Amino acid sequence: MTQKRPQKGDYAIYFEKYIDLVPGGDFLEILREQERHMTLLLSPLTDQQAEFRYAPGKWSIKEVVGHVSDAERIFSYRLLRIARGDQTPLASFDQDPYIVAGNFSARTLSDLLEEFSVVRQGTIALIRSLDDAAWLRRGVAGQKEISVPALAFIIAGHERHHRAILEERYLPALPRR
C-alpha cells in the first residue's frame, strides 16, 4: 500500500518533523520494517544497559521504548476515531507524566520490545482496514485539525525520530559490558 503523503494544512506544523522523516514506498512495509529495526537494534542490550541515559534528565532506553509504544497507541486511537467519522475533538497529551506513570524501569527490555511489536501490529491492522473514504477524513486533536493520512505518517515518523536518537546519542555513549 503506497500511502499518499499528507500536505501542509493536514496537520499542526509541530508534526512536520515526523512526517518529513517518512520515506516514500509501501507504507505498510515501512511500518513492518520499523518494527524489525527497533527489535534488532535493542534486543542485544541487557536490562542494565537499557537503563542507560545519555545525559542527566534524559529518558532511559527503556523509557524511550515505552514512550514510542504509548504515543503510537494515542496516535492510533486518534486515527481510529477520525477514520470512523467521529468529530469529537480529541485532547492533547503530555508525554512526561506518561513516562513517570509507565514505570518502565520495572519491566524488562524484552517485554517492552514485545509490547512495541504488538502495538505496531495493531496499528498495521488498523491502517490496512481503512477504506478510501476513511483516508479522506479529518478531525481535531490537540485543538488542531488533522487528517487520517497525517496521523499515519506521524506514527511512522515518530518511531523513526526516536530510533535515530537511540542510534545517534544513546548507543554510541553506552558503556560497554
**1 has pLDDT over 90:** no
pTM higher than 0.85: yes
pLDDT of the residue at 176 = 76
d(CA 38, CA 111) in angstroms, rounded, equals 13
Task: Give the amino acid at 61.
Answer: I
Alpha carbons within 13 angstroms on the beta-carbon side of residue 65 total 33
Q: Answer for the pair 132, 3: CB distance below 8 angstroms, yes or no.
A: no
Is pLDDT at 175 greater than 90 in this prediction?
no
Q: Is 55 helix (H, G, I), strand (E, B) or coil?
A: coil
Average pLDDT, the chain: 96
Q: CA angle, corner 131, sides to 128 and 132, nearest 5?
A: 125
Query: With 60 as the cut, is the pLDDT of residue 177 above it?
Result: no
Compute the chain's Rg from CA coordinates: 16
Q: pLDDT tens-digit profile of 135-174?
A: 999 999 999 999 999 999 999 999 999 999 999 999 999 9
Calculate mean pLDDT across residues 18-36.
97
What is the mean pLDDT of the segment spanning 62-77? 98
Other beta carbons less than 10 A from residue 164's beta carbon:
11
Query: Which domains are assigned to the chain?
Result: 13-172 (1.20.120.450)
Given a contact cutoff of 8 angstroms between Cβ atoms, the answer to whether 143 and 2 are in contact is: no
> What is the per-residue pLDDT across 40-54, written as a single tens digit (0 to 9) for each?
999 999 999 999 999
pLDDT of residue 45: 98
Q: Which is nearest to 87 in space by CA: 98, 96, 78?
A: 78
